[in-house]
Amino acid sequence: MSRKPVHLAVYDTYADWETGHATAHLARAGYEIRTAGPSREPVTSIGGLRVQPACALDDVRPSDSSLLILPGADLWDAGDELAPFARMAREFLDAGVPVAAICGATVGLAREGLLDDREHTSAVSFYLAATGYGGGERYVDADAVTDRGLITAGPTEPVAFAREIFRLLGVYDGEVLDAWYRLFHDSDAEAYAVLEKAQASG
């Protein structure tokens, strides 16, 4: 089955540990992962990984994508340099294409007004409150939250973040999704047998 690519935003200081579970298993499920940067110039992650974006943000169209993933980055807290990525998230959601944001990217979405009318989470509530956004009453103290096509999570929850992405895109569901989460989050060895059986029959 042909699937549209998943776009992973990359920019200087992006948190490379936050999206690895999601992108690795999406790729194994047949999704092309396309990196999108501010331009096509290389960027460097917090971990020192140098990444050559496959495309510039200006070249990304929601109609050509299955999902936009926005990782955290020091730059989200340093000013408005990454605001174009939050605006792109608005374009995606307006077009009915999902967005997944983790850690500092949730601050960008708060500034853009995208969390004012959706349930959401982040690192802690006062982290988002500092933006002056209008969605404080919709903050949920949870590992990850999905509301109307928008997934949010805090920096310590990359596995829950991936779980919500897989659920939304239908990569895994039900018992298999639960087993995937238990294996990678809880190191539950019994969950491996469930995944192995699903892969064998899939």
Catalytic annotation, residues: 103
Closest by Cα among 127, 39, 131 to 79: 131
Buried residues in 127-162 as b, exposed as e (16+ CB within 10 A): bbeebebebeebbeeebbbbeebbbbbbbebbbbbb
Distance CA 135, CA 75 (A): 22
Asked if residue 85 lies in contact with residue 92, where contact means CB atoms within 8 angstroms, the answer is no
Q: What is the DSSP letter of 37?
A: E
Distance CA 49, CA 169 (A): 28
* Structure-token pair, residue 138: 């919709």
45-136-148-89 Cα dihedral, nearest 10 degrees = -40
Asked if residue 12 lies in contact with residue 73, where contact means CB atoms within 8 angstroms, the answer is yes
Asked if residue 77 lies in contact with residue 14, where contact means CB atoms within 8 angstroms, the answer is no
